[in-house]
Chains A and B, each alone.
Chain A
Amino acid sequence: MNKTVLAAIVVVIAMLGFTYVAVGSAGGMGGEGDWVNKLAVLGAVVLVIVTAFVVTKYVRQMQSDTAGGQLADENWDGIGEYKNELPFGWAVIFLGSIVWAMWYFLAGYPVNAYSQIGEYNDEVKAHDTKFEAQFAKMDDATLNAMGESVFIVQCAPCHGLQADGMDGKAANLHERIAEKSVKHIVMNGANNFKTDYAGGMPPMLLQDPAQVDAVAKYVASGFKADDAAGKAAYAAGTCNTCHGENGEGMPSVAPKINGWEAGMVATVLKDGKKGAIGAMPAFTNLTAVQTKALGAYVSSLSKK
């Protein structure tokens, strides 16, 4: 075996190895990998092998062949001419590629029948059917795990992987509400959740800065029973008439403010919100199951 062939084989094996490792670490190849993935990798493999071996073939011709063929009649300054025809392999592949083109055109992606949107609809339908059946009934642990996975992709970009709001750039989801936000809402009112709480909340129910501070601390730290000043301010602002004595909220009137629950998370996702930190858009493209799962996960964060 000559050196070039050996080198070609080494390159091919190395490339295949690298591709396999890369693809393996991306988690796409095993049972989960669909035929499209496999085709892509196969394409890459074919690419290396074909080039390596065709090139090797010609390199070997350069190395070992003696120039041959029928010499042309003319001869210029001692340089001869070979009357060579088209290389046979080239001509065969030429015909092959025309056949392939016909197939792709008429059967693979038929010009008159194929539609990428149709294909998309099929993909979505197959996906939904599969997972609807699988997750028709879920226990809490599964729901929580699913919620976490949705959170990482959809929410973590702003709230952070730890859901801590990344230094106040988004809400810290380990607490229901921050002092700063309570103050902002008391001063400015709020009308974020138009669908579930159409009435909104009027501004300036408390005007004394000391009382605003007190109520902010009281609400944000979780309605501590021994915080008399906070409790008094809470009552003075008539917060309790809508949000309840301990911030448990009242359906259609005012949201729960003493902790997260699935319903509240769904409300935020439905309408988005705007407050002291900034604005959060509505996330309406999430499915009902995903919303529910997120609700379970976010609620579990503040309970810890």
Chain B
Amino acid sequence: MDIATLQAYGYFFLTAFLVVVLYGYIYHLYSAEKKGTRDYEKYGNIALHDDISDQPIEEISKTDEIKK
């Protein structure tokens, strides 16, 4: 198997993989919102409420720090 064939296979599988991931991501965006586990649209407010005294939209909590 020469290098060109390897590259062709590499190209095909990597593209297929990325496409699957992208569509998986789209599915995730919608399903997460439907199930109510996450509301993506609220992140738009990060820009609107950006004063230093504003409450973060999603704060880094102490529990997260511990998990890390």
- By a beta-carbon cutoff of 8 Å, the part of chain A in contact with chain B is 72-74, 76-77, 79, 81-83
Contact = CB atoms under 8 A, between A and B. Distances in A.
Contacts, number: 19
Contact of B49 (A77, A81, A83): A77
Contact of B48 (A73, A74, A76): A76
Nearest to A74: B42
By DSSP majority rule, is chain A's interface helix, strand, loop, or mixed?
loop
A76 B49 contact: yes
Contacts of B24: none
A81 B41 contact: yes
A76 B44 CA distance: 11
Contacts of A73: 39
A72 B45 contact: no
A81 B39 CA distance: 11
A73 B36 CA distance: 11
A82 B33 CA distance: 13
A76 B45 contact: yes
User: Secondary structure at chain B's binding surface: helix, strand, loop or mixed?
Assistant: helix
A74 B49 contact: no
B48 A81 contact: no
A82 B41 CA distance: 8
Interface of B: 33, 39, 41-42, 44-45, 48-49
Contacts of A83: 33, 41
B48 A72 contact: no
B41 A72 contact: yes
A76 B41 CA distance: 12
Contacts of B41: 72, 81-83
B42 A72 contact: yes
A217 to B, nearest CB: 71
A72 B49 contact: no
Given A76-B45, A76-B48, A81-B41, 15 more contacts: A72-B39, A72-B41, A72-B42, A73-B39, A74-B39, A74-B42, A77-B49, A79-B45, A79-B48, A81-B42, A81-B44, A81-B45, A82-B41, A83-B33, A83-B41
Nearest to B45: A76
For the complex of A and B, the 6 pairs showing the least CB-CB separation, nearest first, are A81-B41, A76-B45, A74-B42, A72-B41, A76-B49, A83-B41
19 contacts: A72-B39, A72-B41, A72-B42, A73-B39, A74-B39, A74-B42, A76-B45, A76-B48, A76-B49, A77-B49, A79-B45, A79-B48, A81-B41, A81-B42, A81-B44, A81-B45, A82-B41, A83-B33, A83-B41
Contacts of A76: 45, 48-49
A36 B33 CA distance: 48
Contacts of B49: 76-77
A216 B45 CA distance: 92
A127 B52 CA distance: 71
A73 B49 CA distance: 17
A72 B36 CA distance: 12
Contacts of A77: 49
A203 B43 CA distance: 90
A72 B42 CA distance: 9
A72 B49 CA distance: 17
Nearest to A76: B45
B19 to A, nearest CB: 11
